Amino acid sequence: SENSSENQHFGINGKYTAPLTKSFNDLKRFWDTKSDNVIMVAAHGSMLQDRNKILTLYKAEYGYSDEKATYYADSLTTLFKTYPEYLNGNHPFFTINAYAHQEKNYPGVGQIGDKIVFGDGLLQAFDAIGYGDIAPQAILAHEFAHHIQYNLGIKDYAIPLTPEGSRRTELMADAYAAYFLIHAQGAALPLQSVQRAGEVFSSLGDCVFDLKEHHGTPTQRKVATEWGYKLATDVHEQGRILSGREFARLFDAALANIIKK
C-alpha cells in the first residue's frame, strides 16, 4: 500500500530496500523531531499502468475535470503503445524524483499523511553514474530534513514558495543530511563518503535564480554540505546531538556566508 511503510521495495528488484529501511530507522532515532507518523514509500513506474490511479492523480492533484483527466490518461496509454522504449512507464524518466510529502487533504481522495516518496528512476540514475553507495542514504536524509522543517514551521504548504525561501530550505536540508551522515551517533560514515554525498547534492543544484523552487547552485549545495559535516565534527560539539531547532538557528546564522560561494 502507498499508505504504509510495510512491504515496500526500493529500486529495481528491491536493491535498496535494506539500506534505505535501516537509514530511515536511524534518522527517526537520531533527530528529536516527531516522526512516528512519517512513512517511506516507493514510486514505481508500473503505477502508470493503473488507469484509475492516473485519473485520480489528475483530478486530485491538478484539479482537472473528468474530461481533461480522461484525455491525458488516454494520451499516456497511446504513448506507451506507440513507443515501447518507455517500458509501459517503467522507464527511469517517470520516477526520477524523491520528495517529502506534508500531510494534506485532497478533494475526492481524503487525507494523505506525511511521507517520503522514493522513485526507482532516481535510484537507477545515481547507480548508473557510480553513486549507488551513498546517494540513497544522502537523499533520504535530505528528505527527512524537510519533515523536521515541516514540524518547525520553517517549510509549509501555507508558506508561498519564493526562490530565496526555497534555496534556504533546500540548502538547510543538505546541511541536516550531512550532519546526520557523519555524526558518530548518526550514520557514522567516513568523511570521504559524506563528501561524495555533497557531490550528489551538488549535481542536483540549479542556476535558475528566478524559479520559485530554486534549490541553490551546485557550489552552494556543496558548501552547505561541508558546513553540516564540519559542525558534526567540531571538537566542541562532539558527544551531543543538536536539536532540529538549534541546528536550523545555527544554519540561518551561517546562510549569508554559504550563499556567497
pLDDT digits (tens, 9 = 90+) for 62-79: 999 999 999 999 999 999
- Note whether residue 75 is domain-resident: no
Pairing of strands 115-119, 39-43: parallel
Please indicate, yes or no, if residue 153 is contained in any of the structural domains: yes
Whose grid coordinates read 520559485? Answer: 212
Structural domain that includes position 123:
12-44+90-259
Tell me if 243 is assigned to some domain: yes
Residue whose C-alpha cell reads 558546513 in the numeric block = 227
206-248: pLDDT as tens digits: 999 999 999 999 999 999 999 999 999 986 677 789 999 999 9
Total tally of structural domains belonging to the chain: 1
SS3 content of the chain, % helix, strand, coil (to 5): 60, 10, 35
The model's pTM is 0.94
Q: How far is Cα of residue 153 from the mean position of the Cα atoms in its chain?
A: 18
Specify if 232 maps to a domain. Answer: yes
* Alpha-carbon span 114 to 167, nearest angstrom: 22
CA distance 178 to 186: 10
Phi and psi of 43, rounded to 5°? -110, 115
In a domain, 80, yes or no: no
How big is the chain, counted in residues?
261
Q: Are strands 110-112 and 115-119 parallel, antiparallel or unpaired?
A: unpaired
